[in-house]
Amino acid sequence: MRIAIPKEYHPGELRVPMIPADVGFLAAHGASIEIEAGMGETAGYCDSDYREAGAGVNPDRRGLITAADVILRVRKPPLEEVAWMQEKSVHISFLDPFKEKELLERLLAGGVSAISIEMIPRISRAQKMDALTSQANLAGYVAVILAANHLNRIIPMMMTAAGTIAPSRVFVIGVGVAGLQAIATARRLGARVSAFDTRPAVEEQVQSLGAKFLKVDLGETGETKGGYARALTPEQLARQREAMMKQCAVSDVVITTAQVFGKKAPLIVTDDMIAAMREGSVIVDLAAESGGNVEGTVPDQVVVIHGVKVIGLENLTGRVAVHASQMYSSNLKSFVLEYWNDATKSLVLPMDDEIIRGCLITHKHAIFSELLKSMM
């Protein structure tokens, strides 16, 4: 079975699907691996690193994909490249299937078995393959560093002969994986941190990181089976915004991370909330790619609203491409090895497996994912 790893050409994408060490690990299990020439360069790996790990190097992108039984990527494939794939080949990457109707149609027409890596269920057995979590972790870290770079004041408290500088206040909205890492990073930099989430159960996690949890009585909320926060009613949103406006007004940095899986991100920080903040403050909107949590966010831009910088930069993990690639590569390696048959030296996807049922979206010219069927 031939595994192909093409180069990423999406603008600004510096992550690579697999690093040499993990390629070598798969090669040791009998996998025949071929990379596109230059595939690892953006993360600091040269072709010779992959050759030493046991992979072939092919400068012909189309030939590489056409001959592959399994294709590993970071991003979804360009539409024209789906036609290059063999029928019954397996494609594994982030696919964003809820927004990519034309891509789904082409995968279906081509008979490609497509694995949407972000749909891997959040169960114990799948933790090592959970790329959504590994990348969100890094995004939370980068969000704080970005905010510090754009803020017109320092983060930590300083006691000097010229006087004492109070620590900056950071408010994190959404305490999932990215939010928790943002809290931890801001605390390490010396900020005074507060956080809010619609799930009261995360209060203990927030406090364990040395931050203060903002309590708002929203009535019944909770989370989905997959561990995501449930969408709020209009009444709950109004109550939440009233409490958050007060917190935003005293914060130097606001970081929003709230997303609803498969849907547009909820609007949380409104224009009047931004207007209540001090001039020179910073907001980082981690949901910019899925519609944005902040009114006025412009995807992949930094804009100034009422004197406040609103950062909607996309693909924050690409800014730490070395470690993002290392973590994503490990996720892919773990997935492949989970379903690798050492006897036949091939990838075998059991259709009754809980993980496969969650993340396999197309198979044998049909939509396989029940979740995708129901949401479409």
Q: How far apart are CA 14 and CA 238, in angstroms?
A: 39
Does residue 224 surpass a pLDDT of 70? no
Q: Give the 3-state secondary structure of residue 36.
A: strand
Triad 259, 260, 261: Cα angle to 5°:
110
Beta pairing class for 366-367 and 70-72: unpaired
* pLDDT, tens only, 284-297: 999 999 999 999 99
Confidence of residue 374 (pLDDT cuts 50, 70, 90): confident
Distance CA 132, CA 117 (A): 7
**Considering only 120-129, 216-225, 317-326, which range has the smallest mean pLDDT?**
216-225
The whole-model pTM stands at: 0.91
Region 331-357: mean pLDDT is 96
> Backbone phi, then psi, for 213, in 5-degree steps?
-95, 125
Residue 228 is predicted with a pLDDT of 57
Strand pairing report for 70-72 and 302-305: unpaired
| Token pair 């949407």 in the structure block, residue | 116
Q: How confident is the model at residue 230 (pLDDT cuts 50, 70, 90)?
A: low
To the nearest whole number, what is the mean pLDDT of the chain?
94
CB 153 within 8 A of CB 168: yes
pLDDT classification of 236: cutoffs 50, 70, 90? confident
What pLDDT, on the 0 to 100 scale, is given for residue 227? 54
Task: Please report, rounded to a whole number, the percentage of residues in the chain having pLDDT higher than 70.
Answer: 97
pLDDT of residue 65: 98
- 2-129+320-364 and 151-314 agree in CATH topology: yes
The domain ranges of the chain are: 2-129+320-364, 151-314
Secondary structure of residue 19 in the 3-state scheme: coil
18 pLDDT higher than 90: yes
Residue 281: exposed, middle, or buried by beta-carbon count in 10 A (0-12, 13-18, 19+)? buried
Looking at the predicted structure, is the pLDDT value of residue 78 above 80?
yes
Nearest to 292 by CA among 317, 311, 266: 266
Label the pairing between strands 282-285 and 192-196. unpaired
CATH class for domain 151-314? alpha beta
Domain 2-129+320-364: assigned CATH number: 3.40.50.720
In this prediction, residue 298 carries a pLDDT of 96
Q: Is the pLDDT of residue 233 over 90?
A: no
Is residue 267 predicted with pLDDT exceeding 60? yes
- Res 72: pLDDT: 98
pLDDT of residue 240: 80
Q: What is the pLDDT of residue 225?
A: 57
Given a cut of 70, whether residue 111 has pLDDT beyond it is yes
Return d(Cα 110, Cα 104) in angstroms, integer.
10
Contact 271, 295 (CB under 8 A): yes
pLDDT of 144 above 80:
yes
Q: How far apart are CA 236 and CA 217, in angstroms?
A: 9
User: pLDDT category, 223, cuts 50, 70, 90?
Assistant: low
Q: Is the pLDDT of residue 107 over 70?
A: yes
pLDDT of residue 229: 60
pLDDT tens, 282-341?
Answer: 999 999 999 999 999 999 999 999 999 999 999 999 999 999 999 999 999 999 999 999
Per-residue confidence (pLDDT) for residue 375, from 0 to 100:
74
**For the CA atoms of 289, 282, 211, 138, what is the dihedral angle to 10 degrees?**
40
pLDDT, mean of residues 208-230: 75
- What pLDDT does residue 330 have? 98
Report the pLDDT value the prediction gives residue 242, as an integer from 0 to 100. 87
Q: Does residue 159 surpass a pLDDT of 60?
A: yes
Instruction: Provide mean pLDDT across the span 87-110.
Output: 95
